[in-house]
Amino acid sequence: MSRLLRRPHLKALPLLAVGWLVAVSTAGLLAPWLPLPFAAGVPDLLHVAEPPSWAAAPQHWLGTDLFGRDVLTELLFGARQVVLLSLPATVLAALIGALAGGSAGFWGNRGCRLPLAAGLVLLAAIWWLIALPGGGQVACLLLAAAALAWWAAPRLLWVGRSAWPLPLDSLFQAAVTLLGAVPRLVLVLALAAGPPLSTGQLLLLLVAVAWPEPARQVRAQMLQVRTLPFVEAARAAGLTTGRIWFRHALPHACRPLRATVPLSLAGLIGLETTLAFLGVGRPPDVSSWGQLLSMLRQEPGAWWLLVSAGGALLFTLLALQQLARSNR
């Protein structure tokens, strides 16, 4: 592929991809302030599902959709949805994935040990939060025990040495296997069988479904990185484990993310579009590309919807793939 890119006219491909993505993002962010002929969500009831008209008086440059809304406006506000929903979801998923995968890969099952005091505090917090029988009194008892342990740690050897290992890797594997047990679409459909979701809830759902992928990548990379000599050197230099992990090992382990985050974003955009197609999750006054495409089922002759929304979706996904490819 690199030899192909040396051909002059194809060197422009990554630039085109980045340019398109920047255009989509700026259009999405600036959409409410752009001077558009029609406002978002306002149906032009006399021109429902009409092809693009450039000559006649109400000029719908890209036509209207099944509710009479102007497709150009819907397209720009749909880009806004992509930027405001899928992009933060991907970034959050990458962050959470990096932290989870990084810690699981670095410490494994025995690396991280909780001192007795911290462990007792954690137990007290859990007991109080889920309101097990005993409630406040048992929590206070545990807190008192934790204070005692913290006081006794430097004095009594056996208290200072006892620490509980946190099985981070097992927890990680369990969580990843749980979320990977069913395909994403099926899981989201099953959870959508309940009450309708708000934007925040949908964002959380997308993050919950998307974080295992970057987490697995970071964990695999971290398993290699932690054996590298500079980590041992840092430990010999006397840096604390936490600092080594956060400032030295983790940035190296996150390298594969540069290539996979665009693909992850593409996957989330595809998932969100399919959800909108199946009619799950968003009220009708929120513009989205998937909703425009879902109208093709009722109005199969609406080629302008396919060309505009389908084209925008296609180019965005292709641009993200190109970005991933050039980052590899």
Partner 1 sequence: MKYVWICLLLAIGSSACSQLDKHQKHKIVRIRWVRDPENLSPLVQPNQNAVDALNLLHCSLLQLDVATGTHVPALADSLPSVHLVGDSLTELSYQLRRAATWDNGRPVLATDVAFTLKLYQCPGLPNERARAQLSFIRAIKLDTAAPRRFTLVCRGQAPDFRLETGDFPVLPETTLDAKHTLRRYSLAQLANLPGLPSRDTALSALVSRYQHADPSHHPERLPGCGAYRLRAWEIDRFLTFVRKPHWWADTLRPTPFVLQARPRQLTYLIIPDETSAALALRRHELDVLPQLTARAFKHLREDDSTKQELSFYSLASYELLMAGFNTRQPILRDSLTRQALARLFDPAKLLQATQLGQGLRTASLVHPGNRRYYNDSLALPIYDPRQTVSLLKQAGWQRQATGWVPAKSKHTPQPLKIRMRYRADDAVFATVGLQFKSAATALGIPVELLPTEASSLTTALQEGDFDIYVRKLSSTPFAFDFTMLLHSRAIPKSNFTKFSTRTTDRLIDAIAATGAPAQKRKLLRRFQTIIQQQTPLVPLFFLPYRLATARELQHLYPSGYKPGYYAAAATWNIAGSIPAAAQ
Partner 2 sequence: MRRWLLLQLGRAGLAAWATASLVFILSRLLAVGTEDAMLSSGNDLQVRTASTSAVARQALRQRLGLDEPVFYVTRISRNSASWRWHGTHNQYHHWLAGLLHGQLGWSYRDGQPIGPKLRTALVYTLPLAGLAAVAATLVALALGLVLAGGPLAASLTSGRAALHLVLSSLQGIPVFMLALGLLFLFANPDALDLLPAYSLADNPDGLLLGAYLLQLIMPVLTLVLAVLPELALPLAAALRHELRADYVTTARAKGVPAASLLRRHALPNALPPLLTSFASLLPSLLAGTVVVESVFSLPGVGRLLAEAAAAHDYPVVVAGVLVTAGVRLLGLALADALYALADPRIRLAL
Give the footprint of partner 2 on this chain (CB under 8 A): 1-4, 131-136, 173-174, 177-178, 180-187, 189-195, 266, 270, 273-274, 277-280, 293-294, 296-297, 300, 310, 313-314, 317-318, 321
Residue 81, Cα to own-chain centre: how many angstroms? 14
User: According to the binding rule CB under 8 A, does residue 196 interact with partner 1?
Assistant: yes
Least Cβ distance, residue 200 to partner 2 (angstroms):
17
Interatomic CA distance for residues 269 and 275, integer angstroms: 10
Of 223, 222, 192, residue with least CA distance to 209? 192
CA 76 to centroid of chain Cα atoms = 22
- In the list 67, 128, 150, 315, the residue contacting partner 1 (rule: CB under 8 A) is 67
Q: Distance between CA 17 and CA 147 in Å, rounded?
A: 58
Least distance to partner 2 from the beta carbon of 198, Å?
14
Q: What minimum distance in Å lies between the beta carbon of 67 and partner 1?
A: 5
User: Which partner in partner 2, partner 1, none is near 314 (CB below 5 to 8 A by kind)?
Assistant: partner 2
CA-CA distance, 312 to 323, in Å (whole number)? Answer: 16
Residue 69: which of partner 1, partner 2, none does it interact with, CB under 5 to 8 A by kind? Answer: partner 1
Per-residue binding letters, 68-107, with partner 1 (x by CB under 8 A): xx--------------------------------------
Residue 292 · residue 75 · CB < 8 Å: yes
58 binding partner 1? (CB under 8 A) = no
d(CA 65, CA 287): 11
Position 48 contacts partner 1 (CB under 8 A): yes
Residue 49 or 175: the one with the smaller Cβ distance to partner 1 is: 49
- Check binding of 232 to partner 1 (CB under 8 A): no
Determine if 43 is a binding residue for partner 1 (CB under 8 A). yes
CA distance 250 to 243: 10
Q: Is 154 in the site for partner 1 (CB under 8 A)?
A: no
Considering CB distances under 5 to 8 angstroms, the limit depending on partner class, which of partner 2, partner 1, none binds residue 232?
A: none
Residues in 251-280 that interact with partner 1 by CB under 8 A: 279
Give 69 or 216: the residue with its C-beta nearer to partner 1: 69
For partner 1, the closer of residues 136 and 284 by Cβ is 284
Cβ proximity to partner 2: between 174 and 228 the closer is 174
Query: Does 200 interact with partner 1 (rule: CB under 8 A)?
Result: no
DSSP assignment letter at 70: B
Which residues contact partner 1 (rule: CB under 8 A)?
Answer: 39, 41-43, 45-46, 48-49, 66-69, 195-196, 279, 283-285, 297-301
